[in-house]
C-alpha cells in the first residue's frame, strides 16, 4: 500500500490533518477525528464533497 498524503494526527485540543508531501498542516483544528474527510482527500478528492465535509466539521466545532 502506498503512503497516504493526508493523515489525521492527534494534537493537544483535537486533531489536525498533516500533508506528508508538503510537510505542513492542512486545514483547521478539529475536535472530532475527520476520518471521512481524510479518506476523501486521499481518494477521489471531489471538491464538492470536500467542501461539504469541511462545512460539517466546522459546524461540529461550534
The pLDDT of 57-61, averaged and rounded, is 82
The pLDDT of 21-39, averaged and rounded, is 93
Going by the DSSP 8-state scheme, the letter that residue 3 receives in this structure is P
pLDDT single digits (tens) 37-48 = 999 999 988 999
Residue 1 — very low, low, confident or very high, per pLDDT cuts 50/70/90? low
3-state percent helix, strand, coil for the chain, nearest multiple of 5: 35, 30, 30
H or E stretch at 49: helix 47-61
Whether the CB-CB separation of 35 and 8 falls below 8 Å is answered with yes
Q: Which of 17, 22, 20 is nearest to 33 (CA)?
A: 17
Going by the DSSP 8-state scheme, the letter that residue 2 receives in this structure is P
Residue 62 — very low, low, confident or very high, per pLDDT cuts 50/70/90? low
Amino acid at each position: 500500500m502506498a503512503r497516504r498524503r493526508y493523515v489525521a494526527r492527534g494534537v493537544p485540543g483535537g486533531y489536525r490533518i498533516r500533508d506528508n508531501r508538503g510537510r505542513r498542516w492542512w486545514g483547521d483544528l478539529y475536535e472530532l477525528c475527520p476520518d471521512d474527510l481524510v479518506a476523501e482527500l486521499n481518494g477521489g478528492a471531489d471538491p464538492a464533497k470536500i467542501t461539504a465535509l469541511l462545512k460539517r466539521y466546522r459546524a461540529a466545532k461550534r
